[in-house]
Structure 1
């Protein structure tokens, strides 16, 4: 029964949920919107990078393995990681 209960608990665990909305930050023509995910008392780094390229509104959703002890730390880390990502790839972020 112990194994069955463990599997049941694992499968019935609620999906992680995004925390409150945070303001977007503009960086080199891109918009970074942090959207940390609350998980087991910590916050996973996640959010969106958006930019209008020509007439197309482009969007890249990301969820990182990084977790932080506070929501504010996760927001700060999201912004800094996105800035590095933008510096490295630019508009190639939106290529499939």
Structure 2
């Protein structure tokens, strides 16, 4: 799956990584819903770091359709809240 981190670029992630990413996504969803700014910051950083670590970066000049778009590291709680679905940022 091709994942875009807003403002950074794209990575290719294997489906096998999504179970671990969904745990972080569930934490992030709970923190956004409760308004826990400190927890939100910590978990968003952990989620994006995991995507960067597990994924293989695509070349900067590559323009593949992104199947998943994640917020930038400096996104606000409100900006992420607007991106959320019932499943969080990551479906499943």
Same fold (TM > 0.5): no
Which is helix-richer, 1 or 2?
Answer: 2
Which is strand-richer, 1 or 2?
Answer: 1
TM-score normalised according to structure 2 size: 0.31
TM-score normalised according to structure 1 size: 0.30
**RCO higher in structure (CA 8 A, sep ≥6):** 2
